[in-house]
Chain A
């Protein structure tokens, strides 16, 4: 797509500012890397509590990503293609967790699903307790990660337009068939990148989990919470675990970007 010899049209000074921007992100990571206690690195990250936290983080992030897809795909469809009163309002609200401090999300969730909460009271009567459970972690992660999926999928849906869907319908496909066989395959790259972003956001979730789910090894203490706690006593462990989190995030994001480049989203041959 990009030719090395083609005219780029970027003024040179832009590169200087871009370099500063890149350094702002890369330098702190490098500084952290320099702080790692390498001889102790492996024992630190394979301690029982570290492994428990990492395992829990991966499991809950996977679960919340699935939940984001299940709930986010319909939301994105309704927002991108639907027409109903209050649509713009709904979009603003769905995007709210993007700008909300996670702690606020945690408090809001607490008053919804907590024991004294709006839904929590009824759930408690039904014998379902969410507070202090892994479910609470997944809920908190889904709350903060859902907008990422909705935003990227809605964008993909909008730019794809609905001409293919119209053709599919005139060929006799029911709306559900159109969704399954045309719409979703067409926006698969957008859905995939949305899911990856959601996973990454879930993995990094801290504030809402801390406020809403609590912190107990193997149950609710995810990797970010473990790092926060380890920082109190053992800075080396905190740095080592931070590096693990960075590595996982880089792997996830890198993997998805690599895949996207190889399968460019739906180049339409007219």
Chain B
């Protein structure tokens, strides 16, 4: 029972196509306005695309092309949606909220309550059964909402940034709960958080401007990012250019030397990327001694604390992408770094990964 969808919605400049295997959880990553929520709306039936089709196994959710106008309403799709806010029905207690799906499917009151209790227990929320939504904290409410979505027995679970509205103390518990319940379940989780992707997803899809920019197994996308968004999520500097013998050359002529993955022989002229962590970048004032390779004149744009380091962001002119360097606060103070200063970034080539785009 695999799931597949392709749809386009011109008004939102949206055009995507993706599929899920049975038991697979996919994380959708992307900047705001990239079309993540539109995708979930189209799948769940709350938003009608101009054209496209979707099916879960043999069941068609919609098929909108030339002649056919098949459109299954949301309640017949089996695609429960969990949003950023729990949206628990305020007039029902936690138990009746969770029992809502089974009741709607025709289960008896007692059977629905039993199902509800089971799922409340699954999300560690059974003691909250009698509480009204107004008496629940954000994290508690969201766990109950997870139980409610699961109790509806969805064939595909849609999660729209379920952790985004929670405070930092509530998120880890919900993440653990989700890890448990999403195992072997078809689910699409829209998230901003790379941790969600690592912990919950088998595969990551990066979307930008209504299109899929990149997709692949979570680890591969986050360790070998090809899109700037994924690189940003993974905390890596990303430079695109043309492959050379020992690195890549950017369109504006800079040379990044680095290490190739073993087992891949570079063919010069091919499009490639170089990725390296900010910790591999050092900052110098004035002229550089030693190897001139991987050394670039840049202008500091921002300084911000990052863990126990200072992250130095710098642009290398209008065309070059911005790069980051992590240095100690002491070094930053010694150098007297301020935004607007001209400095040199030097990247240790041993820490630069070069791979095809």
Partners in one complex: yes
Of all chain B residues, the one with the shortest Cβ separation from A170 is B81
Say whether A167 contacts B90, CB under 8 Å: no
Report the Cα distance A181→B90, complex, angstroms.
11
Output the nearest chain B residue to A265 by Cβ-Cβ distance: B90
| CB-CB under 8 A for A170 and B134, given A164-B87, A269-B90 | no
Contact B75–A173 (Cβ < 8 Å): yes
Chain A residues with CB under 8 Å of B73's CB are 169, 175
Q: A175-B75, A269-B134, A270-B165 are in contact. Are A170 and B80 (CB under 8 A)?
A: yes
Size range of the chain B interface in the assembly: 35 or more
- Residues of chain B with a CB closer than 8 A to A170's CB: 44-46, 74-75, 77, 79-81, 152, 154, 158
Q: Which residue of B75, B103, B134, B158 has the most chain A CB atoms within 10 A of its CB atom?
A: B75
Interface string of B168-189 (1 = CB under 8 A from A): 0000000000000000000000
How far is A251 from B49 in the complex, measured between Cα atoms in Å? 53
Check if B90 sits within 8 Å of A171, measured CB to CB: no
The answer on a CB contact under 8 Å between A167 and B81 is yes
With both chains docked as a complex, state the minimum distance between the C-beta of B355 and any C-beta of chain A, in angstroms.
Answer: 40
Secondary structure of the B side of the interface? loop
| A268 (CB) vs chain B CBs: closest residue | B90
Contacts of A171 in B (CB 8 A): 75, 80, 100-101, 104, 148-149, 152
Query: 1/0 per position for A162-183, CB-CB distance to B under 8 A?
Result: 0110111111111101100110
Digitize A240-270: 1 where CB-to-B-CB distance is under 8 Å, 0 elsewhere: 0000000000000000000000000011111
Judge whether B85 and A166 touch: CB under 8 Å: no
Interface contact A173-B46, CB-CB below 8 Å: no
Q: Is the CB of B90 within 8 A of A172?
A: no
Assembled-state Cα–Cα distance A4/B105 (Å): 49
- Alpha-carbon distance A164/B45, docked complex (angstroms): 15
A199 to B196, CA, bound (A): 54
* B136 contacts partner chain A, Cβ-Cβ < 8 Å: yes
The interface residues of chain B lying within 8 Å CB-to-CB of A186 are 89-91
Q: Kindly state whether residue A185 has any CB partner on chain B within 8 Å.
A: yes
Closest Cβ–Cβ distance, residue B167 to chain A (whole Å) = 12
In the assembled complex, the CB of A169 is this many whole angstroms from the nearest CB of chain B, namely 4
Total count of chain A residues near the partner, CB < 8 A: 24
Cross-chain contact B104 with A174 (CB below 8 angstroms): yes
CB pair A173–B83 under 8 Å, yes or no, is no
Shortest distance from the beta carbon of B73 to any chain A beta carbon, whole Å: 7
Q: Are A270 and B104 in contact (CB under 8 A)?
A: no
Q: Which residues of A are found within 8 Å of B148, using beta-carbon distances?
A: 171
Name B87's closest neighbour in chain A (CB-CB): A167
Known interface pairs A169-B75, A171-B100; A270-B89 also in contact (CB < 8 Å):
no
Q: Which of A5-57 contact B (CB under 8 A)?
A: none
Which B residues touch A178, using CB under 8 A?
75
User: Which residues of A lie under 8 Å from residue B88 when comparing CB positions?
Assistant: 269
Q: Does B86 contact A (CB under 8 A)?
A: yes
Q: How far is the CA of A168 from the CA of B46 in the complex (A)?
A: 11
**CB contact under 8 A between A172 and B136, given known A185-B91, A269-B90, A270-B165:** no
CB of A189 to closest CB in B, whole Å: 11
B133 within 8 A of A: yes
Chain A, residue nearest B165 (CB): A270
B141 close to chain A: CB less than 8 A: yes
Q: How far apart are A173's CB and chain B's nearest CB, in angstroms?
A: 4
0 or 1 for each of B124-138: is its CB under 8 Å from A? (1 = yes): 000000000111101
Are A166 and B46 in contact (CB-based, < 8 A)? yes
Alpha-carbon distance A267/B89, docked complex (angstroms) = 11
Assembled-state Cα–Cα distance A3/B78 (Å):
47
B144–chain A nearest beta-carbon distance, Å: 11
Complex contact B91–A266 (CB within 8 A): yes
Would A266 and B90 be within 8 Å (CB), given that A163-B83, A170-B44, A170-B80 are in contact? Answer: yes
Q: Nearest residue in B to A169 (C-beta to C-beta)? A: B74
Q: A230 vs B77: C-alpha distance in the bound complex, in angstroms? A: 65
Which B residues, 31 to 64, have Cβ-Cβ distances below 8 Å to chain A? 44-46
Given A170-B44, A171-B149, A174-B104, A164 and B75 touching (CB < 8 A)?
no
Residue of A nearest to B157 (CB): A170
Give the distance in Å from the alpha carbon of A169 to the alpha carbon of B81 in the complex.
Answer: 9
Cβ–Cβ contact A267 & B134, under 8 A: yes
Kindly state the separation between the CA atoms of A185 and B90 in the bound complex, as whole angstroms: 9
Contact of B81 with A166 in the complex, beta carbons under 8 Å: yes
Q: What's the Cα separation between A177 and B86 when bound, in Å? A: 20
Q: A166-B81, A167-B83 are in contact. Are A172 and B104 (CB under 8 A)?
A: yes
B87 touching A163, Cβ below 8 Å: yes
Chain A residues with CB below 8 A from B85, complex form: 163, 270
Cross-chain contact A182 with B89 (CB below 8 angstroms): yes
B154 to chain A, nearest CB (A): 8
CB distance from B23 to the nearest CB of A (A): 21
Residue of A nearest to B47 (CB): A166
A168 touches B77 (CB 8 A): no
Q: Given the known A-B contacts A167-B87, A270-B85, are A172 and B101 also in contact in the complex, defined by CB atoms under 8 Å?
A: yes
Q: With contacts A166-B44, A170-B158, A269-B138 known, what are 16 further pairs, Cβ within 8 A?
A: A164-B89, A169-B46, A170-B45, A170-B80, A171-B80, A171-B148, A171-B149, A171-B152, A174-B75, A178-B75, A185-B92, A186-B90, A186-B91, A188-B91, A266-B90, A269-B135
> Can you list 26 A-B contacts (CB < 8 A)?
A163-B83, A163-B85, A164-B87, A164-B89, A166-B44, A166-B81, A167-B81, A167-B83, A168-B100, A168-B104, A170-B46, A170-B74, A170-B75, A170-B158, A171-B75, A173-B101, A173-B104, A174-B75, A181-B100, A186-B89, A188-B91, A266-B90, A267-B90, A267-B134, A269-B90, A269-B136
5 tightest A-B CB contacts, nearest first: A169-B74, A173-B104, A170-B81, A171-B101, A185-B91
